[in-house]
Chains A and B, each alone.
Chain A
């Protein structure tokens, strides 16, 4: 037997219980020292070495091993199962079958039916090998090789699928957040054509390379993943649009408030205050130049600079 071939199992044929037991045993011992077997090496040992003809037990063990791997990987692959069943069928004729059952006479159960025949490894009990053995083994070898290839491919597929699922999950979250944002700000979804969507931008090939997920964060306000060019442009565009109304609105409201205060002051008919109080209201005048400069500067910087940025494509 090849060193890389699966360990021998019950020679009477792998029942489901036997396989389960094998799986449990493997599970218990896998943490000790037994390395995970490479299916391609197992297949090679079966199909590539003519001197080492695999025994049916080896094939059963291979089938059990594949079952274990599938269970570990969580893969339900119908094709695999078909291959396993096919191997099992190929081996079935070698398993000694009980003698043909005759219908019990007079309703009596046959006494032998309670006892299974004793197991035996030797060919004496089975008689001469079948002339079709070699052909069946060849079929089994090729099936095992295909099985190994499929297992390998499925392994890489599963890891790829996991990565894709994580990407989809992450991007769905971001897309959902973007949609909420757009809806909240009154833009129709049709405006979200792919090239301008920050979600799509983030999926462009150069950016996608080497992507890793952001660290897990509590769902609080203002996480850095929200800080997109689209959101920025929306904010500064709105600010630019209302620049004039801000300017004129400020002047009009300021004049209104000042006029109201003036009217109230004049209507109060208060007596003239003592001279030592005359300077106090001047304190209010100190920041006036600063506020005027701030107002003018704000208007000027918005007028002279378009703050929008090109959106990523």
Chain B
């Protein structure tokens, strides 16, 4: 029996050349340093022309190192005319079909431009594709790369712990809490290419649309992918806000423009969005309660308030513990709390910000660490100490 093939596919605009370079080299490095990897591999970088021409030498070097660079032609059009990242993903899907790679023994591991892999990622992928029982695999993402303890980085810690909830939800029928990932997921090539990424117009969250379509067609085919992926958080609060805005636009777009979304699933997606929207009013009500003095009404809600508070604090605490073996900067507890509160405030504001603003088509979140950042200069940020 032939060995399975894993196609590592990095799909991005390509403007974060340094991040792409590190991502690509992490794959190549660990492919060489992981004994007994039970698959053959291909490595594709699918980028837009404007990204490629920002740093052609980087891409040429990566091509020499073993990656295949696929620049999506500027005049490429999908049958339904989708735009953005979905267009690039559909282009890669077409290439696979053309090359005869849309077969069950080929797997596509999706990476963002900053999704570095480790020895554990490859070992987990190897175990997953050899097992072969699930057609889609999703795992936990950590955010240790360039971690500096800023508010946006502290906020990112909670996402890793929340991935446990996402994994449970994705592997259950119906995806009850609407979990999904846009990177660090593995999908059998024939499954992906049969569903495709094409849709009418721009899809802000193409990964959610894809998950909905796969589930509609194949049912609960998601399994737990062992091994972490390693990414980096937004470098500024503004970028964090824009990133969350895009997510919320994706959720709204899926609810309004996904006819294949079953009614029950639509309800769960709407409820997830509503929970997020409720964060800001909750904070406002909390503040107002002191002035409005409606204490007696809190008799009922206080029973659940403790649980919500503990769950939120636990996400920061456990998120940090998941990262503690990987980040070398530690924060003082007061600084950690302060940064966590600021980061949380941005997340609280984000859905409402998404209601009043619209992202541009090529909404670009920088992932290359600024060259004059304290980390580059070897200085710790305010309040941070070398651990």
Contact = CB atoms under 8 A, between A and B. Distances in A.
Interface of A: 181, 185, 198, 201-202, 204, 206-207, 210-212, 214-215, 217-229, 231-235, 238-239, 246, 250, 253-262, 265-266, 268, 270-273, 277-278, 280-295, 297-298, 300-302, 305, 307-310, 312-313
A221 B327 contact: yes
Contact of B294 (A201, A207, A280): A280
A49 B175 CA distance: 86
A211 B278 CA distance: 53
Interface in B166-218: 167-169, 171-172, 176-177
A-B CB proximity, top 8 nearest: A227-B118, A257-B306, A297-B168, A258-B306, A273-B294, A222-B144, A232-B120, A224-B26
Contact of A227 (B147, B164, B228, B289): B228
Contact of B302 (A219, A261, A302): A261
Contacts, number: 253
B94 interface: no
B117 interface: yes
B303 A297 contact: no
B278 A283 contact: yes
A68 B148 CA distance: 52
A244 to B, nearest CB: 14
Nearest to B315: A294
A277 B284 CA distance: 13
Given A280-B297, A301-B168, A312-B119, A294 B311 contact: yes
B224 interface: yes
B159 interface: no
Interface residues of B, number: 87
B165 A309 contact: no
Contacts of B307: 250, 254, 258, 288, 291-292, 295
Nearest to B303: A258
Contacts of B310: 250, 253-254, 257
Contacts of A292: 307
Contact of B274 (A214, A231, A271, A286): A286
B162 interface: yes
Nearest to A210: B32
A282 B300 CA distance: 9
Interface of B: 21-22, 25-26, 29-30, 32-36, 116-121, 123-124, 127, 144-148, 161-162, 164-165, 167-169, 171-172, 176-177, 224, 226-228, 230, 232, 271-272, 274-275, 278-279, 281-282, 285-286, 288-289, 292-311, 314, 318, 321-322, 325-329, 369, 375-376, 378
A257 B165 CA distance: 23
Nearest to A214: B29
Given A218-B376, A246-B314, A270-B295, A226 B35 contact: no
B325 A284 contact: no
B35 A287 contact: no
B295 A227 contact: no
A10 B378 CA distance: 57
Contacts of A223: 145
Most buried by A among B165, B227, B292, B318: B165
A301 B22 CA distance: 31
Most A CB atoms within 10 A — which of B33, B224, B311? B33
Given A207-B35, A232-B227, A261-B298, A221 B147 contact: yes
A293 B176 contact: yes
A235 B296 CA distance: 44
28 contacts: A198-B119, A207-B32, A218-B378, A219-B378, A222-B327, A222-B328, A224-B117, A227-B117, A229-B123, A231-B118, A232-B118, A258-B305, A265-B298, A268-B295, A270-B295, A270-B296, A280-B285, A280-B288, A283-B278, A283-B285, A284-B286, A290-B272, A294-B162, A294-B177, A295-B307, A301-B165, A301-B167, A305-B224
Contacts of B224: 301, 305, 307
Contact of B145 (A222, A271, A273): A222
Contact of A284 (B121, B282, B299): B282
Contacts of B376: 218, 220
Given A201-B35, A202-B33, A221 B144 contact: yes
B320 to A, nearest CB: 12
Nearest to A263: B302
Given A229-B120, A286-B278, A287-B275, A257 B146 contact: no
A258 B169 CA distance: 27
